[in-house]
Amino acid sequence: MDSPLILSAKEALDCVTWMLSDIARRPSSTSKHQKMPLRSNHMAMYPGPGYLRGSDLSERLYVCVRVLERVGYTIRNACLEIADKTAHLLGNSKRGRPRTIEGGRDIDSRAKAIATRVRQFALGRRQAYAAGLVDYRIDHFLFLRKAGVICGSEYIQDSGQRMHDYWKGSIQRLRRPGFS
C-alpha cells in the first residue's frame, strides 16, 4: 500500500541525494560477530542481529529506489539515476575476483548491481523491516526539512543547534496556557 507521504519529483531527488550523502558504516572488529553500532556524521544506529553488516548502504539504496518509484520512475530509470549518484560508493569491494578491465564500471552494470541489491533487500531476511522503512525515511526527511536542519539536500552549517531550537520551541508550544 502506498503512503500518503507525497513528494514532488524535485523533492524526491533531494531526498535521494540526502539519503546517499551520509552512509553509516561500522568500524571493523576483530571478533566474528559485529558488536559496534553503525555510525555516520549525523546518526548512529544499532541494528538487530543479522540485519546489516558493515554499512546501511543496501537499506539506503532500497529506500532511494522506492522513493523514485513513487514519483513515477520505472525501476530501471530509478536504478540508473541512483547509479549516477553512487559511482564513488559501488565497486570498491576487495572480495571476489579482481577486475581485469582497467577503470571503473559503466553506469549500466552499476544500475544492475543496485537492482540486485534492492531485490535482495526486499526479499531477504530484511523483508519485515522493508514494509514501513520507506515511509519512515521520507517522514524523517520532511521533518528535518520543516525543522530547518536540511536545506535542499544538505545539512545546514549549525544543524545541531537548529534541531535543539526546534525542539525547544515545540516544548514551549505545549506549555501554553489552556493546553492540557
Query: Which amino acid makes up residue 101?
Result: I
What does the H/E/C string look like for 40-77?
A: CCCCEECCCCCCCCCECHHHHHHHHHHHHHHCCCCHHH
Q: What is the mean pLDDT of the chain?
A: 79
In terms of C-beta density within 10 A (0-12 exposed, 13-18 middle, 19 or more buried), how is residue 30 classed?
A: exposed
Q: Which residues of 122-131 are buried (b: 16+ CB within 10 A; e: fewer)?
A: eeeebeebbe
Within 40-168, strands assigned E span 44-45, 150-151, 154-155
Contact 68, 16 (CB under 8 A): yes
The predicted-structure confidence for 5-37, as pLDDT tens digits, reads as follows 678 889 999 999 988 888 888 777 655 666 777
Least confident among 38-47, 65-74, 138-147: 38-47
The predicted-structure confidence for 145-158, as pLDDT tens digits, reads as follows 888 888 888 888 88
Mean pLDDT highest for which of 23-27, 88-92, 141-145? 141-145
CB-based contacts of 61: which residues, under 8 Å, 6+ apart?
82, 86, 114, 117, 118, 121
Mean pLDDT highest for which of 33-37, 46-50, 63-67, 158-162? 63-67
